[in-house]
């Protein structure tokens, strides 16, 4: 199987529905407008006047272009990259020409229209190049190696413990042993899959249940899992291996150190256009492997940012006698 670092990062336009992408466009374009005003001005008063003059034309074009790109985002994503870039530039030019010609009579001239169109083309080309470079820079070999490390993050002792648990069942409960072997095989098949594409929340829950079934063989009644999925959007797209490493962390840090039964609570719900996930487990401050905990959380946080940019959030900390992880991300469904 090829390593992820051997695969070329595909050329693609940014997701114009993403809050982070929209914020970057707004900031970059307004900064460029301010730089253009600064070039024309000789003092602060002229700078303010020049920037306001530019903004009167720039902001309507910018806002309408972002709205148009938001609406056309799905169609642009289906086009080949060169055609999509040409479509974006053409769309911006049309909106620029319309905004320029709607200026008060006497302000619009053919020469001014040409200059404005040329400026819009240059700015759009700059933004396309910026997001193109960012797309390639966001998946370097080091980051992809971290993703592969996350895939292989199940510790070797889990494999050995699971196999020992299965062996102990072969003579006493053959059917349960067969099911456990199937769960183990499916879990490792998923770990070898490509984690760059999103999967459904339903599939993530199934994978996590398979993992917990294996841990139940080892921990027995000490492991209690409280699933709260009544409001879970099972068709939501999420990064693969989102839940399982966090649940494994909860077992390792919250259940294993305890002497009696411990409960892991997994609550997932849809909140309008957001997916919210909350995971809690018992907290034992005297038995914490903090470095491993931070590594797992950092990997998940990085992958959320990779897939959803500024639209995803992840928070963690001690709440009373429990350790809690809260995540939220945009609700997107498979086509």
Please give the C-alpha separations between residue 277 and each of 17, 35, 243, 297, 318, in angstroms, as whole numbers: 22, 43, 9, 14, 16
Average pLDDT score, the chain: 84
Give the integer Cα–Cα distance in Å for 200 and 236.
5
The structural domains of the chain, with segments of one domain joined by +, span: 4-137, 141-330
- Flag whether the pTM goes above 0.75: no
Q: Count of residues for the chain?
A: 335
**Taking Cα atoms as reference points, which of 16, 15, 54, 2 lies closest to residue 198?**
15
Beta-strand ranges (E) seen in the chain are: 199-200, 223-228, 237-238, 262-271, 274-282, 313-319, 322-330
pLDDT of residue 180: 83
Q: Which residue has the tokens 């940014």?
A: 14
Residues ≥6 apart with Cβ < 8 Å to 54: 33, 36, 37
- Give the pLDDT confidence score for residue 144 in this predicted structure: 60
DSSP letter at 321 equals T
CA distance 27 to 37: 15
Residue-wise pLDDT tens digits, 144-195: 666 566 556 555 666 777 777 788 778 788 888 888 888 888 777 776 766 6
pLDDT per residue over 44-95, tens digit each? 888 999 999 899 889 999 999 999 999 999 899 899 999 999 999 999 999 9
CB 232 within 8 Å of CB 269: yes
Contact predicate 304/239, CB 8 Å:
yes
The per-residue pLDDT for 19 is 86
Calpha distance 266→160 (Å, rounded): 26
β-pairing, 262-271 vs 223-228, is parallel
More confident residue, 254 or 303: 254
CA 108 to CA 183: how far, in whole Å? 69
Rounded Cα distance between 89 and 308, Å, is 25
Q: What is the pLDDT at residue 8?
A: 47
- DSSP assigned state of 257: T
Q: Which CATH architecture has domain 141-330?
A: 2-Layer Sandwich (3.30)
For residue 84, the Cα-to-chain-centroid distance in whole angstroms is 23
- Please say whether the beta carbons of 54 and 31 come within 8 A: no
- As a whole number of angstroms, the distance between CA 103 and CA 42 comes to 26
Distance CA 279, CA 170 (A): 33
Q: 46-51: long-range contacts (C-beta < 8 A, 24 or more apart)?
A: none
């Amino acid at each position: 199987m090829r390593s992820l670092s051997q695969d070329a990062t595909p050329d693609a336009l940014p997701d114009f529905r993403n809050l982070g992408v929209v914020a970057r466009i707004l900031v970059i374009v307004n900064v460029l407008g301010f730089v253009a005003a600064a070039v024309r001005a000789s003092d602060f008063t002229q700078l303010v006047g020049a920037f306001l003059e530019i903004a009167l034309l720039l902001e309507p074009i910018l806002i309408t272009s972002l709205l148009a790109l938001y609406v056309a985002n799905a169609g642009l994503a289906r086009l080949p990259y060169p055609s999509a870039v040409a479509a974006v530039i053409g769309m911006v030019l049309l909106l620029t020409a319309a905004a320029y010609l709607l200026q008060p009579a006497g302000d619009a001239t053919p020469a001014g229209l040409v200059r404005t169109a040329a400026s819009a083309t240059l700015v759009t080309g700059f933004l396309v190049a910026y997001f193109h470079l960012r797309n390639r820079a966001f998946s370097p070999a080091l980051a992809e190696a971290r993703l592969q490390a996350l895939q292989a993050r199940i510790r070797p002792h889990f494999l050995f413990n699971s196999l020992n648990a299965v062996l102990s069942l072969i003579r006493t409960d053959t059917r349960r042993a067969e099911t456990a072997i199937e769960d183990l095989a499916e879990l490792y098949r998923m770990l070898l899959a490509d984690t760059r594409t999103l999967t459904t929340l339903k599939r993530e829950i199934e994978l996590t249940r398979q993992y917990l079934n294996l841990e139940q063989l080892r921990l027995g009644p000490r492991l209690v899992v409280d699933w709260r999925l009544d409001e879970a959007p099972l068709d939501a797209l999420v990064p693969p291996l989102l839940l399982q490493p966090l649940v494994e962390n909860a077992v390792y840090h919250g259940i294993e150190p305890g002497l009696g039964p411990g409960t892991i609570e997994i609550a997932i719900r849809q909140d309008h256009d957001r997916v919210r996930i909350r995971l809690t487990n018992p907290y034992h401050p005297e038995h914490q492997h903090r470095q491993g905990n931070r590594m797992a959380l950092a990997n998940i946080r990085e992958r959320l940012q990779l897939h959803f940019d500024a639209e995803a959030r992840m928070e963690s900390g001690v709440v009373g006698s429990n350790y809690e992880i809260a995540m939220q991300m945009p609700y997107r469904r498979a086509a």
